[in-house]
Copies of this chain bind each other. A is one copy, B any other.
Amino acid sequence: MERIYNFSAGPAALPEEVLAQARDEMLNWRGCGMSVMEMSHRGKDFTAIIEQAEADLRELLAVPANYKVLFLQGGATMQFAQVPINLLNGKSADYLVTGAWSKKAFKEAQKIGAARLAGSTESGNFTRLFHRGEIAIDPAAAYLHVCTNETVQGVEVLSDANLPGISDSIPLVADMSSHVLSRPVDVSRYGLIYAGAQKNIGPAGLTLVIVRDDLLGHAPAHTPTMLDYAVHAEHGSMLNTPPTYAIYVAGLVFQWLKRQGGLAAIEQIAIAKARLLYEAIDASSLYRNPVDVSCRSRMNVPFTLTRPGLDETFIAEAKKQGIAYIKGHKMVGGMRASIYNAMPLEGVKALVDFMAYFEKEYGR
């Protein structure tokens, strides 16, 4: 079988150019006589790889000089604990719950220390963001935690301008796992940004953290060394052996993003892909997406089939057309098309065409 269109929510499709380059360099990276997987992380070759990756990421996201870029491990789930461990500093943190992932983050923070619910859209089934006045933020909060794209429900804070207004004294902490690098963000509005790599960055097993300098150094004395951001910052993400191959592939993705024209250009493609799919859903009588149009995710598009009993047929027929991992998350059911950066417009067109065909064949 040829390569297919992979709509997985993560691990997810990677640019074919990146995979081809990784393949070509697998046994011998640029004539050095070994694979990147085999290199000492302290040697000059890998040092060049990680430094280039960080420089490219800083350029893509215009990361200010007073922020550290850390390449860590453990995914967003590790960050759910690591953020409060490092940032609570004896205080309480506020959480906005807008879907499955921010709910998990809030629950984990409560396990670690003092965490307070500043707002939740759960009563509306996580299909919208907050109305004016629905959020009550503790003025003494250590930080406010938000998830700017909910992968399960498909709800996204589509622009920094839509962030909740908070006092400058409260750092904003954002889980950007499933939209990072899909559009420019103003990093200076955030105290800390984190993202698991396996959606828009690279292979699973790598976690990106971007943290403002003044937030480092507040972890309690008994904190495991591996969970202390300050120690990783001090060692340039080389406290111990980092996930070297994942960092290398992420670096190839960053270079690919630069070749696409950077994040402003990528955002235009993301807008076009999402529009095509949401318009197809809205125009049909078989498909339905319940999310308010003001915050429909450009990355994860969940939809249900209004006619019951068709889900398995849809999935099986899609597979025959080279459309994979389209099944929705079990919490919301139905389908989910994750259309991260590496999904070409042609893939979304193929999905939309298939959906139209399927509706004609089965939907009436």
List residues of A whose CB falls within 8 A of some B CB: 1-4, 6, 8-14, 16, 19-20, 22-23, 26-28, 31-35, 37-41, 43, 73-78, 80-82, 85, 108, 111-112, 196, 198, 202-206, 221-227, 239-246, 249, 322, 324-325
Contact = CB atoms under 8 A, between A and B. Distances in A.
Contacts of A9: 40
Copies of this chain: 2
A3 B39 contact: no
A111 B222 contact: yes
A23 B26 contact: yes
A12 B46 CA distance: 13
A241 B10 contact: yes
A82 B224 contact: yes
B77 A204 contact: no
A348 B16 CA distance: 38
Contact of A1 (B14, B32, B77, B204): B32
Nearest to A9: B40
B245 A204 contact: yes
Contact of A33 (B12, B111, B322): B322
A226 B10 CA distance: 19
Nearest to A84: B224
A239 B6 CA distance: 23
The CB with the most chain B CB atoms within 10 A, among A6, A20, A78, A243, is that of: A243
Given A222-B111, A245-B203, A28 B1 contact: yes
Given A19-B27, A23-B27, A204-B243, 10 more contacts: A1-B28, A1-B33, A6-B34, A12-B38, A22-B26, A81-B226, A111-B222, A203-B243, A204-B241, A243-B243
Given A205-B245, A245-B204, A13 B38 contact: yes
A62 B8 CA distance: 36
A1 B32 CA distance: 7
Contacts of A244: 11, 198, 203-205
A226 B38 contact: no
7 contacts: A2-B33, A9-B40, A11-B37, A19-B37, A23-B26, A33-B322, A111-B225
Given A226-B81, A245-B203, A14 B37 contact: yes
Q: Which 10 A-B pairs have the closest CB atoms?
A: A205-B243, A81-B224, A4-B33, A23-B26, A77-B240, A73-B73, A8-B40, A205-B205, A78-B226, A204-B241
Contacts of A242: 204-205
Contacts of A245: 203-205, 245-246
Contacts of A11: 37-41, 241, 244
A26 B37 CA distance: 14
Given A4-B33, A12-B38, A205 B77 contact: no
A73 B241 CA distance: 11
Given A224-B78, A324-B34, A205 B246 contact: yes
Contact of A324 (B33, B224, B246): B33
Given A19-B27, A322-B33, A225 B73 contact: no
Contacts of A13: 34, 38
